[in-house]
Structure 1
Amino acid sequence: MKTESTKVIVSNITPVKFDELNSKYNKTLSCPCSTISMPHKTFVSNTIKFHPVCKSIFVNQSWIKALYLFNASQYGVWDFRTTASSQFALLSDFCSISQDTIFQIENDVGNNDFITTYLLTDTQIHFEVNSTTESFKNSASARIIMFLNYLRTTVRENYLVSALNTNLITGISSNSNNMIHVAAFPVYYKSASGNSVSCNQGNPTSAATLNPLLNGSLTVNRIPRFESMPNSTIVSGFFAACTPLEALLQSTLDCLYENECLELLSDYFPALNHMGVNWTDFLLTSKQENLSVNDYFNNLFIEEWSTNINYSKYFNECHPSVCTYTTTDRADISYTIALFISLYGGLVIILRLIASFLVNVSLKFKHRSRNTSVHFGSFIIILLFTSLSTQTATVTIPNPSLSTYKNLQMLYSATLNCPCSTKTISYRSFVSLSPVLHQVCSSGFVTDDWVVLFKQSTNIESPNDWRNRAGAQFQLLSDFCRLANKTIDDSVDRFLKKFFIASTVFNEIDFNTQLNSSERRCTSFVASRSALYGIATDDRLKLVSFILPEIPEINSTMLTCVCATNPHCRALNVIYTQTSIQGIYVSYVMPSSIRGCLNSDSLLLSTLQCLYADSDCFPILLSHLKKFYSSSELKLSLHDISPLINDPTQSRFPPNTLVSTIFKEMMVEQWNESSSYKNFYESCAPIHCTYSEKIRTKTIAGIMLALMSVIGGLVVSLRLITPYLVRFFYYLWEKINKRQQNQQQDEQGKY
């Protein structure tokens, strides 16, 4: 039985009608929106539940002030009294930052345009909106954590001293001559190998404790040791570290869920008892197991994020005027009867022609009459009319391959339509995006062994020697390479997790155009890079430096700049040598290597020129390192350290480029971008392709068959109808004759 594809157009669309159509014709249903762009806030709202600590008394100023002790720095780094107030102040700031960020995310998502070419189902809308919201959340969280991690690195490598004596202990003493001496003792801990490691070399943590001993009983030799006192009580879920920030990030806040722990705090922080509250009423609930403050902050202290979608508002904004779908139907009964009669008549004609052909062929040539010519001409006219008639037909190609689609695109681009079975496609399925970082990030100059080698090769006799600070600077360079790589990886990962919206198959040109636009947005890190660079160069960091370094002139003992009064002091870095004859003297001035007030300043103001193969500096640098290398226990070979190569075809940063400039570009030399149209097409997986074309209604065989069927059908029909027509006309003729006879008889009767 013949089937026919019919395109049905439905108007006056309502949500109920759309649901009915979608349940029946979801594969071919298409409802174009009158408005294809609308802000999310027109139909999306959010319900957000924060971690209970952010709404608790523990982030209020009254609690934070009650934990403040004027002599907190004298208890030792392991004692919770040293950092308790600072940790909760930071926790309060983290909550505020998270809440402000969430507010901004809601605004950004709300103002972000939702693109909807065709009306989507409620399920599709939820999927799209949730994906967009999650992307904004991940992006905001990643930026905050990125800044936080770089701040942690900056504090550690610049050895910024905490006023709480948690990473450096300062002491003042006087001798018999009443001379005052200021001494500094780095806080250290014992590593697994038994070596002493200071806070600028690692990031130790231990459980925070409380000890009843008076702080005056601690000796100056005991305080710097990162070990808790005997008979101490552990504060559940809180830690001690080199800075209050590091301690807080590791904390799990267990104490705030336990009444006994809060009572313990009341014993050691007398001001808490003056608050006049029952701590049982303020215990936190719904604890998430084994999660630290760092984990909470990564998730912006969100416990639950519920997205509410008003589908009716979305439907009204989309406002589809019509919907179309395609149905495939078998021929109806009238067509079947007509076809049967035509076929029967056609067979009769064909058999008659075959049977009488040989007999009549000669007679037809001999006795061709004018009537025969007329009949033949009529036949030709019917034949031409039938053969020349055309119609616009919609052709459907089910499950087209890529090669089939490309052929159709070349022939029928104006009317071709191939709806995707998957309308939201992850970029990851067909896009590859990766950066090429500056070569220093993959060199030996950022390895741990190289950094440690510099830290071991310090020149104690000359504190102004570049080698005394080089280890920290190379550590900063290494950390920034890792940070840049992680930042870029996170950004690329967020981009690849996004979805490419394709209701229908894009042709390859349109696909590349739209994809290039998306990739450009992904690789535009101007705002993030500027903010990150701002942290690295923020003058406010200089204000918290404990020491007051001075920068002398080369070959001079005169001080021309003191960082305490001018944070922009700078001079060229030098390497000193000491001999028994000459004493300490400048043996080498390093070109394009600047000494600033902080290690971060020194690095940012310098270039990497000394690390290149075509530089005179590199072999001199190695020669000075070899003097210390023999005493090093590292397995590093200086012969394995390859210099950087100056190749303008591979790098957009010449050797004399400032490190700050390279940092601004996130160390990126270039982007390797590739996409697969084949993978996109396979992910789209079009159900079918339709196109319109004008076609002749019949082929030659079809024309002949149609003519024979028509003639045969007429013959059969006339055979059936003619007897009845003859009887009818005979009946009419008799009736007319009879009426005339009656009229004649009536007229004769009058006379």
Structure 2
Amino acid sequence: MIKNLFICNTEQRIINRLHFIFLLLILYFIFLFSAFKPKLVTVQIIKPSLSKYKDLLQEHSYSLQCSCSQISIPYETFLNIEPHFHDLCSSQFISDEWIHYVYGEGHLSRRFSFDDYRYSAPGQFLLLSSLCKLSQEKVNHTLSRLLTSYFINSRLLSENLLIEQIEIILNQLQSTTSNSFLNIINLIREIIGSNMIMSTWSTNWEYVTESAFSDYLPVHTAPVSYGECNCGLSFKCTQSSGDMMSGCYPLESILQTKLYCFYDQNCIDSNGNFTSLNMSTLEKSQFNLDSTIESILNNLMIEEYKTNLSYENYFNQCQPLSCLYTYIKTHDVTQTIISLISLYGGLVIITRCLSIIFVKIYEYKKNRIKPETLQQNT
């Protein structure tokens, strides 16, 4: 019975057998190609919730993309930033009580020499207070402008990416704000120093009488020297006065003062008369105790930014319309079978035509009369 299946006595049987073989081979190769070839599948989720989005992000973090219905989102709707300034800016050293204490009874020029920091101490601490206020105003104004501006992005960012973006924006903002602030401060310092404007404390220039026997006591000004540095040549001359600094200008003196002195009462108040001075209110900071006040000012007197970011508010403001993700699907036997069923009718016709064509060509070549055969017959 099996042998009879492969015996082809007629042309029609040959066509049927060849048709069956062609159809079987084509279906087999299509099945192998379709069922085991990896396929890239794209799935769309319409208006996902936050919980659904987080689930999708865990499963398809590399391919998930969501488009926002609102491209521009106000920062203040999802972000809050509080700058934490150095404790010096809230300490007793910038208080009126402390400044009145270091000023004492006045007549500082009679009580101290020009190279004693206590001679210009009231001016130094007044300047420290002003620098703190100016930096706070600058930072708060800049942050206020940022929070009222808009975060623009057409895609929904994951929480980690959003935090990274905010950190980059804050770093850029701090850099530009610091440069802008310091450019103004340095411009003022250069204008005052280059024009050799005399300090009200007479720490850079002093009056010298020309003759002790003149009725009019004519005087001229002479530059003050601090060590080997002459205020007539450089307005940034300073020298150590204990652990504090004295110099041509109180501003230059306070900027070159080391931070550690503000943590030691013996350094800043050697007599210990200011009993209400509480050094314990100053906490350790990110700045090294050997840092100068100028290095802290370069950072706008900021210790850190405390950011409070609400990702839920950001997601609600973004209102994603849809999310797309892709994944690779393999061994889809069911889908392949369905595809083969849909192709079966067309394959039957094609393989039938191919079988007929091959059989006709075979029969034609088989039955064609050759010239050699004709010569033998004659």
Does the Cα contact within 8 Å between 2:138 and 2:181 map onto a contact in 1? no
Alignment of 1:134 onto 2:171: yes
After superposition, give the CA deviation of every residue in 1:288-328 in whole Å (9 maximum; x if it has no partner): 32211111111111112122210000000000121122334
- Equivalent AA in structure 2 for residue 327 of structure 1: Y
Q: 1:327 is paired with a residue of what secondary structure?
A: strand
Q: Which residue of 1 aligns with 2:238?
A: 205
- For the residues of structure 2 that align with 1:352 and 1:35, how far apart are their CA atoms? 64
- For the residues of structure 1 that align with 2:39 and 2:269, how far apart are their CA atoms? 82
- Equivalent AA in structure 2 for residue 264 of structure 1: S
Does the Cα contact within 8 Å between 1:248 and 1:293 map onto a contact in 2? yes
The 5 Å alignment of 1:604-623 reads none
Q: Which residue of 2 aligns with 1:254?
A: 260
TM-score calculated relative to the size of structure 2 = 0.77
Q: Aligned pair in 2 of structure 1 residues 142, 73: CA closer, same or farther (>3 Å)?
A: farther
- Determine which of 279, 283, 286 is the counterpart of 1:285: 283
- For the residues of structure 1 that align with 2:130 and 2:152, how far apart are their CA atoms? 37
- Equivalent AA in structure 1 for residue 101 of structure 2: A
Alignment of 1:355 onto 2:359: yes
Per-residue deviation, 1:54: 1.0
Does the Cα contact within 8 Å between 1:29 and 1:323 map onto a contact in 2? yes
The 5 Å alignment of 1:718-733 reads none
Does the Cα contact within 8 Å between 1:76 and 1:166 map onto a contact in 2? no
Structure 2: tracts of 5 or more residues without a match: 1-32, 368-378
Q: Which residue of 2 aligns with 1:327?
A: 327
Q: Which residue of 1 aligns with 2:191?
A: 154
- Determine which of 42, 49, 52 is the counterpart of 1:17: 52
The 5 Å alignment of 1:677-692 reads none
Q: 2:64 is paired with a residue of what secondary structure?
A: coil
Q: 1:264 is paired with a residue of what secondary structure?
A: coil
After superposition, give the CA deviation of every residue in 1:591-614 in whole Å (9 maximum; x if it has no partner): xxxxxxxxxxxxxxxxxxxxxxxx
Per-residue deviation, 1:170: 1.1
After superposition, give the CA deviation of every residue in 1:531-556 in whole Å (9 maximum; x if it has no partner): xxxxxxxxxxxxxxxxxxxxxxxxxx
Does the Cα contact within 8 Å between 2:102 and 2:122 map onto a contact in 1? yes
- For the residues of structure 2 that align with 1:66 and 1:330, how far apart are their CA atoms? 82
- For the residues of structure 2 that align with 1:327 and 1:280, how far apart are their CA atoms? 64
- Equivalent AA in structure 2 for residue 184 of structure 1: T
Q: Aligned pair in 2 of structure 1 residues 152, 351: CA closer, same or farther (>3 Å)?
A: same
Q: Which residue of 2 aligns with 1:312?
A: 312
Q: Aligned pair in 2 of structure 1 residues 59, 189: CA closer, same or farther (>3 Å)?
A: closer
The 5 Å alignment of 1:644-663 reads none
Q: Aligned pair in 2 of structure 1 residues 259, 81: CA closer, same or farther (>3 Å)?
A: closer
Count how many residue pairs are aligned between Structure 1 and Structure 2.
Answer: 324
Q: 2:270 is paired with a residue of what secondary structure?
A: helix
Structure 1: tracts of 5 or more residues without a match: 209-233, 364-751
- Equivalent AA in structure 1 for residue 122 of structure 2: S
- Equivalent AA in structure 2 for residue 86 of structure 1: G
Does the Cα contact within 8 Å between 2:231 and 2:248 map onto a contact in 1? no
Q: Aligned pair in 2 of structure 1 residues 283, 256: CA closer, same or farther (>3 Å)?
A: farther
- For the residues of structure 2 that align with 1:327 and 1:7, how far apart are their CA atoms? 7
The 5 Å alignment of 1:238-637 reads 238-266=244-272, 272=274, 277=276, 279-280=277-278, 282=280, 284-287=282-285, 288-289=287-288, 290-330=290-330, 332-337=332-337, 339=340, 342=344, 350-359=354-363
- For the residues of structure 2 that align with 1:90 and 1:307, how far apart are their CA atoms? 30
Q: Aligned pair in 2 of structure 1 residues 187, 177: CA closer, same or farther (>3 Å)?
A: closer
Q: 1:7 is paired with a residue of what secondary structure?
A: strand
Does the Cα contact within 8 Å between 1:257 and 1:283 map onto a contact in 2? no
Q: Which residue of 1 aligns with 2:61?
A: 26
Does the Cα contact within 8 Å between 2:226 and 2:239 map onto a contact in 1? no
Q: 1:48 is paired with a residue of what secondary structure?
A: strand
Q: Which residue of 2 aligns with 1:85?
A: 122
- For the residues of structure 1 that align with 2:47 and 2:184, how far apart are their CA atoms? 53
Does the Cα contact within 8 Å between 2:69 and 2:320 map onto a contact in 1? yes
- For the residues of structure 2 that align with 1:179 and 1:259, how far apart are their CA atoms? 46
- For the residues of structure 1 that align with 2:93 and 2:230, how far apart are their CA atoms? 34
- For the residues of structure 2 that align with 1:44 and 1:99, how far apart are their CA atoms? 20
Q: 1:326 is paired with a residue of what secondary structure?
A: strand
Q: Aligned pair in 2 of structure 1 residues 32, 304: CA closer, same or farther (>3 Å)?
A: same
- Equivalent AA in structure 2 for residue 316 of structure 1: N
Q: Which residue of 1 aligns with 2:375?
A: none
Q: Which residue of 2 aligns with 1:41?
A: 76
- For the residues of structure 2 that align with 1:262 and 1:179, how far apart are their CA atoms? 42
The 5 Å alignment of 1:173-192 reads 175-176=212-213, 178-189=215-226, 191=228
- Equivalent AA in structure 2 for residue 333 of structure 1: V
- Equivalent AA in structure 2 for residue 129 of structure 1: I
Alignment of 1:115 onto 2:152: yes
Q: 1:13 is paired with a residue of what secondary structure?
A: coil
Per-residue deviation, 1:174: 6.2
Q: Aligned pair in 2 of structure 1 residues 199, 254: CA closer, same or farther (>3 Å)?
A: farther
Q: 2:186 is paired with a residue of what secondary structure?
A: helix
Q: 2:308 is paired with a residue of what secondary structure?
A: strand
Alignment of 1:71 onto 2:107: yes
Per-residue deviation, 1:206: 1.1
The structure with higher relative contact order (CA 8 Å, sep 6+) is 2
Q: 1:156 is paired with a residue of what secondary structure?
A: helix
- For the residues of structure 2 that align with 1:334 and 1:361, how far apart are their CA atoms? 44
- For the residues of structure 2 that align with 1:190 and 1:298, how far apart are their CA atoms? 27
Per-residue deviation, 1:336: 3.2
Q: Which residue of 2 aligns with 1:508?
A: none
Per-residue deviation, 1:352: 4.9
- For the residues of structure 2 that align with 1:201 and 1:296, how far apart are their CA atoms? 23
Does the Cα contact within 8 Å between 2:257 and 2:293 map onto a contact in 1? yes
- For the residues of structure 2 that align with 1:239 and 1:40, how far apart are their CA atoms? 44
After superposition, give the CA deviation of every residue in 1:641-682 in whole Å (9 maximum; x if it has no partner): xxxxxxxxxxxxxxxxxxxxxxxxxxxxxxxxxxxxxxxxxx
Per-residue deviation, 1:157: 1.3
- For the residues of structure 2 that align with 1:306 and 1:22, how far apart are their CA atoms? 27
Does the Cα contact within 8 Å between 1:7 and 1:326 map onto a contact in 2? yes
Identical positions, percent = 25
Per-residue deviation, 1:190: 5.4
- Equivalent AA in structure 2 for residue 245 of structure 1: L
Q: Aligned pair in 2 of structure 1 residues 206, 105: CA closer, same or farther (>3 Å)?
A: same
Q: Which residue of 1 aligns with 2:141?
A: 104
- Equivalent AA in structure 2 for residue 40 of structure 1: Y
Does the Cα contact within 8 Å between 1:239 and 1:251 map onto a contact in 2? yes
Per-residue deviation, 1:163: 1.7
- For the residues of structure 2 that align with 1:177 and 1:352, how far apart are their CA atoms? 138
Per-residue deviation, 1:282: 4.8
- For the residues of structure 1 that align with 2:171 and 2:100, how far apart are their CA atoms? 37
- Equivalent AA in structure 2 for residue 164 of structure 1: W
TM-score calculated relative to the size of structure 1 = 0.40
Q: RMSD over aligned Cα, in angstroms? A: 2.9
- For the residues of structure 2 that align with 1:177 and 1:96, how far apart are their CA atoms? 48
- Equivalent AA in structure 2 for residue 128 of structure 1: Q
Does the Cα contact within 8 Å between 1:45 and 1:307 map onto a contact in 2? yes
- For the residues of structure 2 that align with 1:281 and 1:241, how far apart are their CA atoms? 25
Q: 1:127 is paired with a residue of what secondary structure?
A: helix
After superposition, give the CA deviation of every residue in 1:101-141 in whole Å (9 maximum; x if it has no partner): 22112201101210020111001111111222222222121
- For the residues of structure 1 that align with 2:263 and 2:168, how far apart are their CA atoms? 34
- For the residues of structure 2 that align with 1:281 and 1:185, how far apart are their CA atoms? 39
